[in-house]
Amino acid sequence: MFDYGFTEEEKMIKDLCRQIAEEKIRPHSQEWDEKEELPENILKTFAESDLFSICIPEQYGGMGGGLVDLCIATEEISRIDGGVAASYAASFLGMFPILLFGTEEQKKKYLPEIASGKKLAAFALTEPEAGSDAAAVTTRAEKKGDKYILNGLKHFITNGGDAEIYTIIALTNKNKGPRGISAFIVEKGTKGFSFGKKEEKLGIRASSTRELIFEDMQVPKENLLGGKEGSGFIVTMRTFDQSRPGVAAQAVGIAQGALELAVSYAHNRMQFGQKISSFQGIQWMLADMAAKTEAARALVYSVARAVDRGEKNIGPASAAAKLIASDTAMQVATDAVQIFGGYGYMKDYPVEKFMRDAKITQIYEGTNQIQKIVIALDLIKRYGK
């Protein structure tokens, strides 16, 4: 890995996350994947090590720092287990809307609980009929006195059931299109809030994905994010601008983990009387995998740095990072399985999990086709004269 000019603090985060991933996650990764479970004690370890507090400002109980910190942590955890990383990063996905758009009261109430790791967060946008088309949500929020009554269903929600704090996107005025969508902060245990089935997934199986069901769920108006209706669409878009580099970092970590496994295997596997790493065909594959992973990483950290510098119009770059890194992860993980040959296809070896985990990074937080739309619309706006 090249030197990205990480600060002392950033290196500290990297070292700590690597240590936790190696010592506390690697020995259990296969088991958690098989059983589709994320034991509470690993989240407790993250909390005790302050990993939930990075990139939350100090006045709200965080460590300060920015998106680079979150990308470093997510990459290191993903290098060992993309599923554990999904749950970790998804808490930040639930946190970002509060940080970016919450009122001072909302920030003071919820951010310290998320930063300390006492409460896991989640973001709930997707519905059976509204995925890529975010503006098509049908979950309704009707204002009655000083409350909103929410009815509807969200699905494919990462950390669903495990999280205590949810940012929920719902329709407050169906006649206003995207401007009729609002965001609410809802706590687990709210009357009328229940959970549907837990999804069985191809990859990132340690993280839980569930349906959220709202039946006449009463939400006090203080929990309307930012205190105003109609900002739900912009909340969603700005949140994704922040969170997509995190998905990209997850993808880089998965690629790195798969690459390391492939190199190690190739250097030990004997065929035709020699190590297969001595064959140029394998060497070229490994070199391509490494070069692409590094290129993706360089893009991810330069975008994360740009976000931390406060640059505007970060959406297209953020989308590009997610697009490139996730495609890289899929290709590198697939090639890693190829280098393992038949063994790579077997569950006895860890590499197939990386291929399964990589796939989701091309799909969630906007499919890569949606990322291309974000990039293309920006291009046309700039140069389409």
Partner 1 sequence: MNIIVCIKQVPDTTDVKINPETNTLIREGVESIINPFDMYAIEEAVRLKERFSGTTTVITMGPPQADFALREAISLGIDQAVHLSDRSFAGSDTWATSYILSQAIKKIKDFDLIICGKQASDGDTAQVGPGIAAHLNLPQATYVRKIDKIETKGAKQTILVERLVEDGFEIVEIEMPCLITVVKEINEPRMPSLRGKMKAKKAQIPVWGKTEIGADSSKLGIEGSPTHVVKIFTPPQKQGGVVLEGEPEEITEKFVNDFKQYL
Q: Round to whole Å and give the CA distance between 226 and 214.
A: 21
**Does 20 interact with partner 1 (rule: CB under 8 A)?**
yes
| 25, 32, 38, 53: residue in contact with partner 1 (rule CB under 8 A) | 53
Min CB(257)–partner 1 separation in Å: 20
Q: Where are the beta strands (DSSP E) in the chain?
A: 121-124, 140-144, 147-158, 165-171, 181-187, 193-198, 209-220, 270-271, 274-275
Min CB(55)–partner 1 separation in Å: 12
Decide whether 19 or 283 has the Cβ nearer to partner 1.
Answer: 19
- Site size for partner 1, by CB under 8 A? 17
Q: Are 255 and 332 in contact (CB under 8 A)?
A: yes
> How does DSSP assign 326-338, residue by residue?
HHHHHHHHHHHHH
Query: What CA dihedral angle connects 155, 158, 161 and 162, to 10 degrees?
Result: 180
Instruction: Please list, in sequence order, all residues whose beta carbon lies within 8 angstroms of the beta carbon of residue 151, skipping any fewer than 6 positions away.
Output: 139, 140, 214, 215, 216, 217
Decide whether 29 or 239 has the Cβ nearer to partner 1.
Answer: 29
Min CB(84)–partner 1 separation in Å: 14
Is 365 catalytic? The answer is yes
Decide whether 69 or 365 has the Cβ nearer to partner 1.
Answer: 69
**Does 84 interact with partner 1 (rule: CB under 8 A)?**
no
| 4, 6, 14, 16: residue in contact with partner 1 (rule CB under 8 A) | 16
Q: Round to whole Å and give the CA distance between 299 and 324.
A: 8
Site of tokens 């749950």: 87
Helix axes 232-268, 280-309, angle to 10 degrees: 150
| 9, 142, 294, 378: residue in contact with partner 1 (rule CB under 8 A) | 9
| 25, 43, 54, 339: residue in contact with partner 1 (rule CB under 8 A) | 54
Decide whether 24 or 109 has the Cβ nearer to partner 1.
Answer: 24
**Does 59 interact with partner 1 (rule: CB under 8 A)?**
no
| 7, 19, 59, 313: residue in contact with partner 1 (rule CB under 8 A) | 19
Catalytic residues: 365
